[in-house]
Structures are given as C-alpha cells and as structure tokens.
Amino acid sequence: MIRLRNLTKRYGDKVVVDRLSVDLSPGRVTGFLGPNGAGKSTTMRMVLGLDRPTAGEALVDGRPYAELRHPMRRVGALLDAKAVHPGRTARNHLTAMARSNGLPLRRVGEVLETVGLSGVADQRAGKFSLGMGQRLGIAGALLGDPEILMFDEPVNGLDPDGVRWIRGLMRSLAAEGRTVFVSSHLMSEMQETADHLVVIGKGRLIADAPVSEVIEASSLTAVRVRTPQPEELEQQLLVAGMRVERHGGDELIVTGGTLDRVGGVAHQAGVRLNELSPRAASLEQAYMELTASSVEFGAPSGAEQAAGTDDRERV
C-alpha cells in the first residue's frame, strides 16, 4: 500500500502539491488524473524519494521509500521511458538493473518476454521507437516482481495493440493483489482500465472514489424515459426537483435523479413506462466537469478566439 499524508511540495512561492492525503490500496488499478501542472509527476517522484516533500509524508508499506531494504522488490516504477543509456542494449540495461538490486538474472529474459521485446533484446535502446522504449521501461518496473507498480503515462507511443496489451497487464497485476498506480491523460483508456480514481487540480485533491461514482456524480449523467404519458410525467418530475428535456413524442431525458427516484415518481403518479434506462456520462465528461476550475494552461474557447479576432480587425 502507498499512503500519502498531507503531502506538500513547494518551489519558492509556488505550491505544486498541496496537503494531499490518499491511500492507494492493493488489488485494484488506481488512475491518477489531473490537468497539466496539477502535480501528478511530482507526487510520484516524492513517493519514490526523487523529490523531498516540503511537508507531510509518502509511505510505502508504512515507511519512506529510501528506507526500503530491497526497493525494486517492493516498488516498480516507470516515470520516464527515455531514462535509458542509448548505447546500451535492452538486455544489458535490464541486466545492470538486476545486478544493482541483487535480482536473479533469469528475470531479465522473463520480463523481456512479458513485454514483447525478446526479439530485439540485443538492439541498442537509442534505436528504439517511443513505444518500444515504453515497453522497456515497463520491463524495468516488473524486474523485481514488486507488489507495487507505478506508471506515469505508460501508453504514450503505443499502438492500439500495445494499448490493449498494457490495459490487460495492469488489470492482471491488480488481480494478483498488487497495488497499481497509473497516471494518464487518456480518459477513455482510464474508463476501461481503472477501478478507482484519484483526481487532483493545482496540487489539491478533487476526487478519491471508484470510477463509477465519479461518473455517476456528473451532472451529465441522466435517465432516459419512454412513456405514453410524457406531459404528466414531466410535470411530476419537475415538482420533484428534477430537470427534464423532451425528445420526440414519448421520450424524456431526466437529470438530477436516479433510476429508482424517477421510477418511484412514475409509480406514484400512475404513469406507465415503456423504458427506464441510465444514460451515463463518459469519464471524459465527468473529468472535464470536475477539473474545469483547475486548468492552469487552458486554451481560449472558440467564442473567445472569435472575439479576439474581431478586436484585432477593429484596431
């Protein structure tokens, strides 16, 4: 388990991570989300002892990473796929890592096979594509057969087959009871892969919940209703404080209420339903809603760009 308690990092007057407290539990994939500059990479670096917290602590199974006797047997991490000497072959790179941590050399061949690099094991890493470099970094993370895995943007540079492969790998590692902590900007991939989400913005915790709860909490999550009595049901739903949109002759899209609540209102009103189904928001929609006020490097909207163009034309 990874435990963060009031974890804080400042650079001068700038607070990069702000009193972050979360527990990252074994047996699940925890997605780590946030806009650029939110503090995700800095948080991961503090867990690994690469950056020193200004305040608070990051503990791995109850102790700082620096105090672990055999760190690669406890934590495997991929933070930068390019952190490999370009003149070394994949096999030599992993062999050096294994020897430095007292790991059996048979693990080198095993992880190369796991990540699909056996056929290029004796090629220099400097000639690898970005996707191959990611696979080599993942092999390094797996080398010590650790209980905790941390990946920072692991699907960068991977083709669709590679993305599908790493999704399956992370889920299988979690199914073995390991702690898997992964950051990504690909919301569709996180929706497919993660069980739990930690969302931060400007260094502060925004959400710490299962993926399903994050999506259900979005105001864009709705209930679709089809009924031969749409006017009557719409009136009763509005009285109950829900928002209703009419679609076609018999369809209502209801927000601000659950399936059970909408069904209960219909039952009390004696309205027959032909369909009652959820219309969930996507994780991307829920994420954008959560982090709207935390985007530090946002581009102007189309309307703002148009306004700027008009102003220039008037000058």
* pLDDT per position as a tens digit, 131-159: 999 999 999 999 999 999 999 999 888 88
Summarize the confidence of residues 227-238 as an average pLDDT. Answer: 96
The C-alpha atoms of residue 220 and residue 254 are separated, in whole angstroms, by 10
**Which pLDDT belongs to residue 300?**
54
- Domains along the chain? 2-210 (3.40.50.300), 222-279 (3.30.70.980)
Reported confidence tier of residue 176, pLDDT bands at 50, 70, 90 = very high
Amino acid letter for position 23: D
Least confident range of 42-46, 67-71, 152-156, 217-221: 217-221
Check residue 199 and give left, alpha or beta (phi > 0: left; psi -120 to 50: alpha).
beta
Helix axes 230-239, 259-269, angle to 10 degrees: 120
In the chain the first and final C-alpha atoms are separated, in Å, by 60
pTM here? Answer: 0.81
**Which pLDDT belongs to residue 296?**
64
- Residue predicted with more confidence, 281 or 42: 42
